[in-house]
Structure 1
Amino acid sequence: MVSAAVRTVLGDVAPADLGVCDAHDHLFLRSPRLPGQELDSVASAAAELDAFREAGGQSLVQWTPHGMGRHARELPALARTAGVRVVAATGLHQAVHYPPEVLADLRARGLAEVFVRELTHGIGDSGVRAGLIKVAGGFHGLDAHARWTMAAAAEAHRATGAPIAVHLELGTGALDVLDLLCGALDVPPAKVVLGHLNRSPDLTVHRDAAATGAYLAFDGPSRAHHPTDWRMPDAVAALADAGHGDQLLLGGDTTTAAARSVHGGPGLPHLLRRVRPRLERAAGRDVVARILGANPARAFAVEWPA
């Protein structure tokens, strides 16, 4: 009998071994949309992971997809030294993050095949296998690029069982994404993680999305997203009260160098030092313990093919 496992950069682990998990963050990230704010320093990533561990963090899911500076070769040593489990991603972000020639090459190679290879064989020649597929929607809609990447993600999911994590632009388009992934493309809702819902605090949409069975990620402490932080506790509490406490995830989504704690920003520790106690006051300790522990353990667990 095959047991479900979370695929980390140091190998597959039992879901319960994730412990306290930041379910959406970035140790490394590079995009032409963030000039001068690249997360590309290995030393800063190491210091940030140490600070996260000291705050009580035990695992981190990096949502950085293909072609955005994942530094896959560096991740095993960082995870081992810090004593923090790290999950890497395959997938593709919005078209604006890539040169046209990169997208043309991926079309020629077959996008789903790229995803599957990174999930099963490794990212490039790093030997690091991805544990999830990250894709992205648009602002209140899905363009042709989003539909292409989501179709490829669905195909890769069917081949591997890997969960699909979705960047929702400013938190919008959740129901359109679910209509495509879980409707037309037949991905089980429990294998979909919707990110950035705190950026569009529409509780009706939140409840409708949760009713499908998908996971909902709230991930706003990054400096660039702080205006939505104060709404997060109410949204989490409302969803928990509606019976969806087992579908909620929490992440920091550190996307700029200035947001790292080692550079004076909130960084990874902020999630546990400041966000967690505020959520506990709003939703209760039991709910928050599930959000940081049992929920990501289920969301990222896969019965991987041999």
Structure 2
Amino acid sequence: MVSFVRTVLGDVPAGELGITDAHDHLFIRSPLLPGLELDDLERAGRALREFRELGGRTVVQWTPYGMGREPEALVALARETGAHVVAATGFHQAGNYSAETLDRVLGSLAELFVTEVTEGIGSTGVRAGLIKVAGSFHVLDAHARTTMRAAAEAHHLTGAPIAVHLELGTAALDVLDLLCGELGVPPGHVILGHLNRSPDSAVHHEAARAGAFLGFDGPSRANHATDWRLPEVLAALADAGYGDRLLLGGDTVVPETPGMPYLLRRLRPRLELALGEKLVEQILTANPARAFALAGSAG
């Protein structure tokens, strides 16, 4: 069976994704980051065009419900640049939403996720290709468990992969215990994000052994052991036989983030020196094609 990825312009064969930024944001806003919104169409267009000029083909936008996804702008950018763009449904940590939104939406999250994957986001007709949820720091609080249960239900009905924001890279194994152990989501349809922010090799290897995809996304800040340890972390996982589980992303969250062009201009050459071009190509191309494919055929 041919596998497909759901983009904002429709379903495409997974093998056509090409070089993929597996976790980024062209548009996002949150009350937790006042004044740091990504809501500039011109800026987003420049970033996407530069990514394309560097050889990039696909960007997976992890911005979930209620955080400024701009689905119609994503369509316009995909058409203008020729990029594949994947939009997300899903629900982030509670602090990103008003009390009114939480009261209105939490009781029907699974229905919302299914609708946005199968019919479209709002009245736009732009369908989401993944379900994004979030853990909490080192544990899964009640909100996280509610959103993940809804995500699992929606996955079973749609086949859409589940992408998980791990707070500072923590609670990965708790996420897998819930989603895959209790709720029956195949681990190959779970993407764990921000593992670079908690370079715990034992957790990384256990998560990879379970069959999940491991996302290393976003350039380092001084208090995140990201860039300077990333080559050795990826090499250790590849040497243990988990090279097919690894993903890379730019994770542009605020305007000063280097973002998706940085992923290919600066990070790719560095990793090629440390890991070899073949493995880096697999991480950027073959692995995303599997990670973001919908279970079953296109609709």
Q: TM-score range by the shorter chain?
A: over 0.9
Could you say if the C-alpha distance between residues 268 and 305 of structure 1 is closer, same or farther in structure 2, counting changes exceeding 3 Å? closer
Cα distance in 1, alignment partners of residues 94 and 211 from structure 2: 28
Q: Could you tell me whether the CA contact under 8 Å between 2:87 and 2:130 is conserved in 1?
A: yes
Deviation of 1:282 (Å): 1.9
Q: Partner residue of 2:114?
A: 116
Cα distance in 2, alignment partners of residues 191 and 54 from structure 1: 30
Letter in 2 for 1:250: L
TM-score normalised over the length of structure 1: 0.95
Could you say if the C-alpha distance between residues 203 and 267 of structure 1 is closer, same or farther in structure 2, counting changes exceeding 3 Å? same
Please state if 1:279 is matched with 2:271.
yes
Q: Partner residue of 2:185?
A: 187
Structure 2 counterparts to residues 284-303 of structure 1, below 5 A: 284-302=276-294, 303=296
Letter in 1 for 2:84: R
| Cα deviation code 1:216-238 (max 9, x no counterpart) | 01002276986522111111111
| Cα deviation code 1:105-152 (max 9, x no counterpart) | 1134x1100000000000001111000000000000000000000000
| Cα deviation code 1:43-80 (max 9, x no counterpart) | 11111111111111111000000000000111111011
Q: Could you tell me whether the CA contact under 8 Å between 1:213 and 1:247 is conserved in 2?
A: yes
Q: Secondary structure at the match of 1:125?
A: coil
TM-score normalised over the length of structure 2: 0.97
Deviation of 1:243 (Å): 0.2
Cα distance in 2, alignment partners of residues 304 and 120 from structure 1: 13
Q: Could you tell me whether the CA contact under 8 Å between 1:222 and 1:267 is conserved in 2?
A: no
Q: Could you tell me whether the CA contact under 8 Å between 2:167 and 2:194 is conserved in 1?
A: yes
Instruction: Give the paired residue count.
Output: 298
Q: Secondary structure at the match of 2:2?
A: coil
Equivalent position to 1:268, from 260, 273, 278: 260
Q: Could you tell me whether the CA contact under 8 Å between 2:188 and 2:213 is conserved in 1?
A: yes
Cα distance in 2, alignment partners of residues 55 and 164 from structure 1: 28
Could you say if the C-alpha distance between residues 225 and 90 of structure 1 is closer, same or farther in structure 2, counting changes exceeding 3 Å? farther
Q: Could you tell me whether the CA contact under 8 Å between 1:132 and 1:300 is conserved in 2?
A: yes
Q: Secondary structure at the match of 2:242?
A: helix
Q: Partner residue of 1:37?
A: 36
Q: Which moved more, 1:278-287 or 1:6-15?
A: 278-287
Structure 2 counterparts to residues 46-125 of structure 1, below 5 A: 46-108=45-107, 110-125=108-123
- Which is richer in helix? 1
- Give the fraction of aligned pairs with identical amino acids, expressed as a percent: 65
Could you say if the C-alpha distance between residues 100 and 224 of structure 1 is closer, same or farther in structure 2, counting changes exceeding 3 Å? farther
CA RMSD of aligned residues (A): 1.4
Structure 2, unmatched stretches of 5+, are none
Q: Secondary structure at the match of 1:258?
A: coil
Deviation of 1:104 (Å): 0.9
Q: Partner residue of 1:211?
A: 209
Q: Partner residue of 2:226?
A: 228
Cα distance in 2, alignment partners of residues 122 and 35 from structure 1: 28
